[in-house]
Structure formats: structure tokens, C-alpha cells
Structure 1
Amino acid sequence: MIRTLFKFTVMSLAVTAFSAAMPSLAHAEIRTSSIFSDSMVLQRDKPIRVWGWTDAGSEATVTLAENSVTGTANEDGRFEVSLPAMPAGGPHELSISSGDQTKTFTDVLIGEVWICSGQSNMAWPVNSANDADLEKMTAKYPNIRLISVPQVGTQEPQDDFNGQWQACTPETVPNFSAVGYFFGRQLHQTLDVPIGLIDNAWGGSAAEAWVRRDVLEQDGKYDELLQRWDERAKTYDHEAAMADYRERLAKWQTDKKGNRPAAPRNDLVGQHRPANLYNGVLKPTIGYTVRGVIWYQGESNAGRAYQYRDLFPLMIQSWREEWGQGDFSFYWVQLADFMNEVDEPADSDWAELREAQTMTLALPNTGQAVIVDLGEAADIHPRNKQDVALRLSRLALAKDYAVDVQSQSPTYQSMEVDGDRIRVTFDDAGGDLDTFDVKQPVGFTIAGDDQKFVPAEAQIVDEHTIEVWSKQVKQPVAVRYAWADNPIANVQNTAGLPMTPFRTDQWKGVTEGVVK
């Protein structure tokens, strides 16, 4: 019996040694970001990037239709390959093989892929948009695919998230971005190709939360902002705050006096801290081949509108640089009209934020949907997401797909003083300048050297020119249009796209110098 036990032990050791000598390739485990799943849409007519993780040094072969490409995992186990561009179509299977393991995704379509990002007005769901009941019951588009990235705020870069591509149905659409869905639906109906929509918006998010920390540091304009957050990270104790809250809650439950205490929010893992959303929401999707981004954000940065002049383009450029896909299309929604209408001209941080958004059009392959006619004075979340999406879709259809539709709002180009009047010229008018509601242009103010603006009269001179004047200003030097939180303004082009708010002066604004 001792001899038998000895033989068994020797054989076991031999098997163990043999197994240890075998390369790990045979048991390579394949992992990918959840941006790759069954029912996904891959971007047509562009090289298709696929990445994942397996054993370091192992080969991984990715196959889609008749195309197959092999890459080698680096020391961290990450591999990345680029499949040849393919036309719209499907369904296909995409498989990843490494060693004796194979991971397969089914029902894969090739079409157009867009990221839907920003804060609450992009996150606003179909369930809460105008005519939600009708929109949901007609959302039967099996070739529109949806995926949402959960809200994770962190300083640690993430490589995955909990999500899954799904076909658009009355059951899957209610909680998806309304602007994103209506945008994608218009593209699908116009182009007749599959559409993939990635919703990663987070309500209340600040633009700096979407930017990598080192990018903000290297720029040098955000030191005070970063320092404030660093100090908060050193001093804030969320466990202590929760303990205090539980104590106050227990007392309230006994006494029932006053309002119920509110639980503390841990801003360190929220949507305002610089880099939090870049790391937790955006990073796991970076590199997925896309056509472009639609963006609806700015409300949270309105108090720092001058800073946004640099921050917003920095964000766009940093995304493009890291994506490694060139200057992909980036279209945003300008802030809607909001808060009380005012009778007299006044400073406005929302007007300054709109100006910062317009200035960002200097970047290539960008576009802006002007919606100062679609807001609600008492609600920062206008329910009319359909028209917002249509204006974004006009930009994409015209710029990305060469569809003959008007997409640009009239935009200020230049001014000329003519006696006691100022003539303002606009480009991208898209046909004749026009007005809605009343014939007379409304929304202009004018000022002299004293920088005191007064309401002005105006008339359309030709398809590109408006003349502005006031009997109160004999020597005018500057004109503003729709310069208010909630402007009363009515100029548009003949396609119904409202004129872009503007000012001809560069006088100091209320948010100049505000950096944190």
C-alpha cells in the first residue's frame, strides 16, 4: 500500500510539473469592455477597433464576417486590433479567440454610431418628454440599438461598466435619453441604416468632470479649481457625515419636528469633481469607433462662462486626441431660454455661456443647435426634446451624410455704424432672414460709449443684414441680440432655425475672472 501511495504521489507531482510547464495560452480567459456585447452596432465605413484582455503575451484573433485580424496582448494583457472598414448591414457574428477560448457576440449590425453625452437635458428620458405615451408605443425599431453607461464618479480610470446593447422597443426606450433617441430615429429614417446610440449623460455634471486630470493640470488655467477639490478630498469625511446624519434622523423620527434631515452627498464621487466622469463613465468606451458626439451641457458651468470658453474646446480636443480617430463630429445644444423674462437689458451668465458655446465653433467639425425658442421659464428641463433632436439631426445629416437640408442658424458676422444706426451682417443665414410671431424683429438692444444698453428697433434690410437703432442712442457703438437668461427674440431663417444670440462688444461680463 505504501508503494501504491508513493506511485500516486510521484504521478501527481509529474502532472503538476507538466501543467506548470504548459504555456498559459491554452487557458487564456478573454475579457472585453461591455461596449462590446450581443446586439451592438459597429461603425460603418471606418476601421473597426476591437480591444480586450487575455493572458499577457497571448495572441488574440478577432473575426467579423470574412475579416480576421490577430494581435498580441501586452504585459498588462491588453490587446487591440483594427478590422477593415465594412458597409452597413448585418446581422453578423464577432468572435475573439485566444488559446482554446473563444468569446462570440451575435446579432451584430454595421451602421452609424453616436455618443449622447452631457448633463440632465441629455439624460432626460423619453418617459418624461412631450407625448411620451405616443413615443413609447411607436418605438419599434429593431435596427436602432441602445446602450447606457451607469453613473460612476471616480478618480480611478475604469475599463468596464455594467451595460448591454439592446434593440429599441417600447420596453427598452422609456428610460433612454430622449434627445439621443429622437436624434437617432431621424437618422435611421433618413439614411435607412442601423443606428447605435451610447448614452453616458449624467444630470448636473460639470464640463471639468469629463476631462482627464492631467489634461487640466497641464493646461494651467484650472489650478484654483483643482486645488479647491484637492482640499475637499483631504478634509471631507463621508463616514462621519453619514454618522451625523443618522443621529439627526433618529432624533427627527422621535421628535417629528421640522423637516426630515437630508442625507449628505459625497461630492468626491459625484458628477462635479474634475476627471470623475472621464474615469468612471467615458474611459471604458474610449476607442470604440464612432461617427461623432451629440452634447447637451452647460447649465452647471454658467457661473463660470468665461472659463468655459477654454474648458469646453479643451474637453472636445482631449476626447478627440485620446480616441485616436481624428476630428470626429461634435455637435452640441446651446442653452435654452430659462428663468424670468426681463423688461430691461441686463447682464446674464447664461448669455455669456451661450457666447462661449458659439465661440467653440472655431474648432473643426463642430455644430451648434440653437434653441432659445424652445425653453420653459420655470423649468430647466424643457419637455420638447423632439425639436431639440431635430436640430441636432439637421447638423449631422448635412455635415456627415451630405443630405440637402438647412442646418445652420443665422450667425453674427460683422457690424458697421451708419450715423445713428448700426447695420449687422450675418452668415449661414440659410436663405432669407425672417421673423416669427410678429413681423418686426424683436430682441435687439443698443448702446453708446457709456455701455448702457437700451431696447432697440430693428428692420431686415436684406437676406443677410439687419439695421438696428434707438432714439435714445445718437452715437451707437454696440448691439446685442437675445442677450438674457430668457430672451424675448424672434429672428430666424426661412427654415425656422432661430438666430444665434450674440453681442458685438467685448465689454467685461459678469463671469469674467470666475474660475472655481
Structure 2
Amino acid sequence: MFWLLAACLLIAESVSANVTLPEFFGNGMVLQRSQPIYVWGWADKGEKVTVQFKEQKQSVKTGNDGKWMVKLKPEAAGGPFVLTVNGKNNVTFDNVMMGDVWICSGQSNMEFHVRDVTKAAEEVQAANYPQIREFTVKRAAAKEPLEHVAAASWYPATPENVGNFSAVSYFFGRELHKELQVPIGLIHTAWGGTQVEAWISRKGFLSSETFRQMMSEPLGIDSITGPNGYPACLFNAMIHPLLPFGIKGAIWYQGEANAGRAYQYRQSFPLMITDWRNQWKQGDFPFYFVQLASFDANNGKVEGNSRNGSTWAELREAQAMTLSLPNTGMAVITDIGERNDIHPRNKQDVGKRLAFNVLKNVYAKPVVPSGPVFKSMDIQGDKAWLSFTDPGTGLMVKDRYGYLKGFEVAGADGQFHYAKASVINGKVVVSSDQVATPVTVRYNWADDAADGNLFNKEGLPAAPFRTDTWKGVTEGKGYQLPAKK
């Protein structure tokens, strides 16, 4: 019995002595260039830990909780390098690159794999980008913030691996890599069907007048059922463990699960972005997102439009309003959705449009970032003249006969009618024989918003919009806490 006890004590001492790091520190990882490099982990209480990377070397002693962290000076893009961490044991990470790291998050359209996209076989075969690397955070939910994610590895974008990559993140990263010629790290942390409230921290909720009361008292939930079973549960398990890993920014594709509460998304989505920025302590880092595609959300039973009300149009509006936050951008994809599939397979253009925004606004590259955006309306008689802000070289109608589609007009009675529309001298002129004096105009205001064909000459679509602020169908519908268990 004595020898068995002694053996157990020796094993316990050996295990406790090991220096460990977060699971996303691994061979082939990408570290953020031109920013301080945080390296952290756990060891025995009071243990000396030494970190060495390139010409830098720092030592630190762990605290009473066994945690340690060093802050290395910024390094330029390049690699491969070796990162070593030494304590009572030695840890070595090979093939480490310095580049730009992007968080890629959201729900199922961010999870959607390269192997399932249009022309998937060709894309997989052509993937020869070993300096584009992805780490996928495995699905997890938690009531309290976690320090660890499940063990996983960094994989390079090669034919053997890329089929399992997030398609949006890969095509986004591919455009950046081609243009910038630096390594790109993609941390894919997404879960299908998730509501935005699952991705906001408790601290974030407490900073909001709308949600503070909800989180100020214990929720009384013993277990979590699914990813939406507890507010903050995905932040706790799939975002918090990543902090404070250096990143360049984040891309986001989510919103379908919040369409029924689109009006409140005007508050919850900006709250999430601000919360992540506060948590990362990297300032207003770039945050770029995808506006909802076109989709028949009601399966043909009730058409979502201006007459019946459209939850998806209201969610797109809430997304567009989030652009009031600094250092944000939006990829419009209403023209590449699929009416009967909430998961459109053309993810190539989604990634490209995110990249166009980022290349222009983050990296100052000479590209056109997006399509036309509504600016103002001038009523002249029975016609509405619409002006647009366009980062491209002019408006274009994608129709062989030059007919504009997707426009509606209403008078003071609030009844919408399909409108005639055309481009004249760089403006869009809208009218209807049934509306003598227009009051408001809407464009692509529908769940399935594929009719709209206003683009700029660079081929990027105009964002949906409305000129009125009339009450929508989601106003007054708010987030409800899960039932107590």
C-alpha cells in the first residue's frame, strides 16, 4: 500500500509540474504580426517559466494560481519560426508563422465547409496555400467563462485539409493572402442556429440598459440545453478562452436565428461587437460581417415583403445600422442567395466581398469595397429621385433591357406598389401609376430579395433600404430567457 501511495504521489507531482499552454498554441500556428505577442499558460505555483521566440527571451514566475503570461515585442510577418516554453518541462512549437489572424464566427453559414460549396472538387484540388492556416474551435457551451477549448490543431490550406475549412473564412483568407503576401491565420469558432445573445458576455449584458436586469440575478438554470440554452454560453466556451490571443480583426456571418427579433438586433449586435472589443483590449479592431442573403423564410406560405412584413428585411436593416460603429463593414449578398436553401453554396463571392471591404478599409488597397448605398430622396411631383453613395465608378442595371427591379413606392396611405425605376444622370428615378404623391420608397425589402438588380459598374450590389421609419413586424419582440430548470 505504501509503494502504491508513493507511486501515485510521484505521478501527481509529475503531472502538476508540466508547463501547459492554451490548446490553440500549437505546431503550425499563426501569430499576429506587428502587435505585442501574448504567450500564457499554467504551471506549478511559483515555477519559473521561460519563453523564447526568435531573438526574444523572457522569464516569469507563476502566481499562486499557477498562471503565467509574458508579453513579447511585436514581430514582422514571416516564418517559419520556433517558439519554446521551458519550465520543469520543455514545450516546443515548430513551423510558427507571423501574419494576420482573423476570428471567423457566427452560425451555420460560417460553419459551412469548402467541401460543400459550388465547384467544391475544383476548389479543394486548387488549394495550395500552406501559409493560410485554420484552427477550428470545437462546439462547446458553458455557464461560466472557460480557460480552455477542446484540443485541436492548426491545418494548412492544402487539398488534404481545406475541404474541412470554413468556406467563408477560407475564401476570405485566400483573397487577403493573394493581395498581401503574408501568412493568414483563421480561428474558426461558430455554431449553427445560434442567436447573437449566446455570443455576448455577462459583462457585456450588464453594460446594456436593455439587458442589465436580465443578467443581474442568478438565472436558476442548472444545465444548458443546446447552444442557445443560456445567455453568454458560447462566449464563455468559444470566445473567452481565446483571450488575449493577438488578432487583426473578426469576420461574422450570423443573423438568421435573430430574424424574429430583428428590431432588438439593432442593440444586441452592436453590443456584441463592443463587448468583444472591450474583452480583447485591442481597441476598435476591424469587425466585418455578412448581411443576410435572400431566402424564402416562410417556405412560400406567406411571402415576406412590404405588404406582409419581412423579418429578414428588418434584420438586414439592423445589420446596416450597425455600420455606425467605427471600423466595421458589411458584405451585401442578396444577389447570391438561394430562395429554397438557407445555406447558399456560393461562398466564394461571400469571402471575396468581405475581403474587398477589408482590403480597402483596413489595408488601404486600391479596390472597390462595396456596392451603392442609399443616401437621400427628393420628391418631385409623382416621382422620387434617389441619390446614392457609390465607392465604384457609377450605377449599373443588371438587365439586358435596362429595367430596374426590386423597387416599391407608397403614398400617405402606406400601401406599397411595385414601381417603375430607371437610372438617369447617376440617380434612380422611381414612380408608380397608382401613387400620385410618393412618400416612401423601399428597395429589396423582402425575405427573398433576389429581384433587385441595382449594382455599381464593378458588379457589387446595392444594399437593401427603405426611406421610411414605419413600425415593422419585429418591433416590440425581445429576447426571452430560457425556462428555469
- Whether TM-score is above 0.5 comes out as yes
Amino acid aligned to 2:53: L
Which residue does 2:475 correspond to in 1? Answer: 512
For 2:140, the aligned partner's letter is V
Q: 1:290 aligns with which of 244, 247, 252?
A: 247
Query: Which residue type is aligned with residue 472 of structure 2?
Result: G
> Which secondary structure does the structure 2 equivalent of 1:33 belong to?
coil
Alignment-derived partner of residue 94 in structure 2 = 106
1:268 matched to 2:225: yes
Residue identity (%): 46
The unaligned stretches of length 5 or more in structure 2 are 1-5, 7-12, 480-485
Partner of 2:241, secondary structure, is helix
- Superposed CA deviations along residues 310-334 of structure 1, whole A, max 9, x for unmatched, are 0001000100111011111111010
Aligned to 2:464: 501
- AA at the equivalent of 1:497: L
Instruction: Pick from 148, 155, 165 the counterpart of residue 166 of structure 1.
Output: 155
Matching residue's letter, 2:420 = E
1:327 paired to 2:284: yes
Residue 403 of structure 1 aligns with which residue?
365
Quote the Cα distance in structure 1 between the aligned partners of 2:350 and 2:218.
34
Structure whose residues are more often helix by fraction: 1
CA offset at residue 140 of structure 1? Answer: 2.4
For the 8 Å contact 2:368–2:391, the answer to whether it is kept is: no
One-letter amino acid matched to 2:408: T
- Measured after TM superposition, the shift of residue 269 of structure 1 is 4.1
| Cα separation, partners in 2 of 1:78 and 1:428, compared to 1, 3 Å | farther
Q: CA deviation at 1:173?
A: 1.5
TM-score by length of 1: 0.85
Aligned counterpart, 2:393:
431
Specify the alignment match of 2:323 in structure 1.
Answer: 361
- Matched residue type, 1:74: G
8 Å Cα contact 2:62/2:68 also seen in 1: yes
Which residue does 1:457 correspond to in 2? 420
Counterpart pick for 1:441 among 404, 423, 439:
404
Give the superposed CA RMSD.
2.5
C-alpha distance after superposition, 1:444-489 (max 9, x if no partner): 11111211111111121233x2121112111211111100001211
Render the CA deviation track for 1:376-410: whole Å, top value 9, x for unaligned: 01100000011111101111211222211101221
Match of 2:36 among 47, 52, 59: 47
Higher mean Cα deviation, 276-285 or 425-434? Answer: 425-434
- 1:192-212 alpha-carbon deviations (Å, 9 max, x no partner): 211111111111111000011
Shift of 1:272: 5.1
Alignment partner of 1:200: what SS?
strand
Moved beyond 4 Å, runs of 4+: 223-229, 340-345
Matched with 1:193 is: 182
Is the CA contact 2:390–2:456 (under 8 Å) kept in the aligned structure 1? Answer: no
Q: Which residue does 1:381 correspond to in 2?
A: 343
Decide which structure has the larger Cα Rg and report it. Answer: 1
8 A contact 2:396–2:454 mirrored in 1: yes
User: Within 1, Cα distance between the matches of 2:214 and 2:434?
Assistant: 43
Distance 2:60 2:432 in 1: 69
Q: Distance in 2 between matches of 1:448 and 1:71?
A: 70
User: Does the CA contact (< 8 Å) of 2:404 and 2:421 recur in 1?
Assistant: yes
Aligned residues: 462
Partner of 1:151: 139
**Alpha-carbon distance in structure 2 between the residues aligned to 1:374 and 1:229:** 44
- Structure 1 residue 362: Cα displacement: 0.5
Unmatched runs of 5 consecutive residues or more in structure 1: 1-15, 17-23, 237-266
AA matched with 2:265: Y
In the alignment, is residue 279 of structure 1 matched against residue 236 of structure 2?
yes
Shift of 1:135: 1.3
TM-score, reference length from structure 2: 0.90
- Decide whether the 8 Å contact of 1:309 with 1:356 is kept in 2: yes
Q: Is contact 2:304-2:311 (8 Å) kept?
A: no
- Does the CA contact (< 8 Å) of 1:35 and 1:284 recur in 2? no
Q: Distance in 2 between matches of 1:400 and 1:218?
A: 28
Matches of 1:272 and 1:331, distance apart in 2 = 27
Q: Is the 8 A contact 2:304 2:310 kept in 1?
A: no
Q: For residues 271 and 93 of structure 1, what CA distance do their matches in structure 2 show?
A: 40
Do 2:46 and 2:62's aligned partners in 1 also have CA atoms closer than 8 Å? yes
Q: Report the Cα distance in structure 2 between the residues aligned to 1:179 and 1:106, rounded to whole angstroms.
A: 27
Partner Cα separation in structure 1 for residue 349 and residue 283 of structure 2: 29
Given the alignment of the two structures, is residue 420 of structure 1 paired with residue 387 of structure 2, yes or no?
A: no
